[in-house]
Amino acid sequence: MMDVNLTIIGAGVVGLAIAEKVSQHYKNVFLIEKHQSFGQETSSRNSEVIHAGIYYTKDSLKAKLCIEGKWLLYDYCRRYDIPYNNCGKLIVATSEEEIAVIEGIRQTAIKNGVDDMLVLDRKQIAALEPNIFALKALYSPSTGIVDSHSLMKQYETNAINNDCMIVYGSEVTGISRIRNGYKISLIDSDKKSYSFSTGIVINSAGLTADKVSEMVGIADDKLKIMFCKGEYFRINPPKNRLINRLVYPVPHQNMEGIGIHVTIDMGGGVKLGPDVKYLETNVYDYKVTLSKQEAFYMSARKFLPFLEFDDLAPEMAGIRPKIQKPGEPLRDFYIMEETAKGFPRFINLIGMESPGLTSSLSIAKYVNNLINNTI
Ligand SMILES: Cc1cc2nc3c(=O)[nH]c(=O)nc-3n(C[C@H](O)[C@H](O)[C@H](O)COP(=O)(O)OP(=O)(O)OC[C@H]3O[C@@H](n4cnc5c(N)ncnc54)[C@H](O)[C@@H]3O)c2cc1C
């Protein structure tokens, strides 16, 4: 007899969404989080964009889960009164070469099932965003923003109402295979060691999901997480009021990031970023590099002609859990039930970078199906 049916490790937006979903169907569900509350890492250090699913490789999990997830998320926000804004996004071309790239992006989007994108000329762009410069733009009407804290709070509330037991301040330190399940060791908030048995494990430990996977014995170089930092600068008032939607430049080739872009938030703030920098070692480095202000300014000035250097101020940084090594082609989310590796009913979620927030509800549904198919 197991102490617990199902244990989820990590209360970021992904772990919380899974907790809400699986606790509708299973009793005796545990969610364990090392911090004192939810969403203290990547889930509260991101752009809060509801992505449309434009850029991802056809048939990838990122493409499928993003598109399904965005519609689920809009419905969820309406149902629970979570602040969101389906504000739309412009991808702007500021040179002749970039105009050529735009049509390719539209084709990729169509292949993924995003068929509502519009190509806009200068006049149409000016009607939407009179203060930006662009020769041509792609407009994505299904892109938006969400208040991610309210979203996570709702996932938490619903999970608790479904009798999910959420344990904060407890860090999982070891996992071993036992008959019919797993033994989980942790250090609780009083620094005491504790262990219990569980039938199913879901590893949604974000930046350290590879380490949690190694605890049970799944160590794979392809699943090694590299910390990849993204920094933001905000646009100070009053110029933040000159932009009403998300504005992105044409992305780089291997999609390590999608270029320094403009995001708006539910509080009326406007920020530039994130940039993309792999850290040499996996350290939680959330400092904003002041000397980057010039590069941010030069990059954004191409499509924000009103911007002056002093309009910017350092905002924050987040860290992507990348399994894609620098220069490698785009990697997909790794979401796997690990029977093939000898660990039945152990589900790994590794490399849950963007669009993990957008996809949180569809990821939860996907994981719930994995569980149903393996029990
Ligand atoms: C700069 C940046 C911008 C982004 N912008 C967007 C965006 O606009 N739209 C979008 O859809 N996505 C975006 N993302 C991606 C999105 O933020 C992530 O996909 C999402 O937050 C991942 O959630 P998570 O729950 O997997 O991870 P996390 O939020 O990292 O949560 C994992 C949790 O596990 C806990 N944990 C780890 N190890 C243990 C352990 N041993 N024991 C107990 N607990 C443990 C951690 O404390 C943490 O709370 C962005 C990411 C970054 C970095």
- C-alpha span between 238 and 241 (Å, rounded): 6
- C-alpha span between 293 and 310 (Å, rounded): 9
**β-pair type (4-9, 193-203):** parallel
* Residue 226 tokens, joined: 């590299």
pLDDT top residue among 145 and 251 = 145
State the pLDDT at residue 257: 53
State the pLDDT at residue 184: 98
Angle between helices 148-161 and 61-80 (to 10 degrees): 80
Nearest CA to ligand 1 atom 45: 10
pLDDT, mean over the chain:
95
State the pLDDT at residue 161: 98
Reported as a pLDDT band with limits 50, 70 and 90, residue 264 is very high
* Residue 243 tokens, joined: 């932009």
Q: Probe ligand 1: pick from 7, 33, 46, max atoms within 8 Å of CB?
A: 46
- pLDDT of residue 228 exceeding 90: yes
Closest Cα to residue 62, out of 269, 342, 363, 329? 363
> How do residues 176-194 score in pLDDT, each as one tens digit?
999 999 999 999 989 999 9
Q: Is 231 in the pocket of ligand 1 (CB under 6 A)?
A: no
Nearest CA to ligand 1 atom 19: 356
State the pLDDT at residue 97: 87
In this predicted structure, which of 63-72, 96-105, 197-206, 276-285 has the lowest mean pLDDT? 96-105
Nearest CA to ligand 1 atom 9: 49
- pLDDT of residue 41 exceeding 60: yes
- pLDDT of residue 270 exceeding 50: yes
State the pLDDT at residue 255: 44
Angle between helices 61-80 and 360-374 (to 10 degrees): 110
Reported as a pLDDT band with limits 50, 70 and 90, residue 259 is low
Q: Is 69 in the pocket of ligand 1 (CB under 6 A)?
A: no
pLDDT top residue among 112 and 52 = 52
| Helix/strand/coil for 198 | strand
Q: Is 48 in the pocket of ligand 1 (CB under 6 A)?
A: yes
CA 322 / ligand 1 centre spacing (Å): 11
Reported as a pLDDT band with limits 50, 70 and 90, residue 254 is very low
- In the chain, % of residues over pLDDT 70: 98
Handedness of CA 241, 247, 249, 251 (dihedral sign): positive
H/E stretch holding 280: none
CA 44 / ligand 1 centre spacing (Å): 8
CA 46 / ligand 1 centre spacing (Å): 9
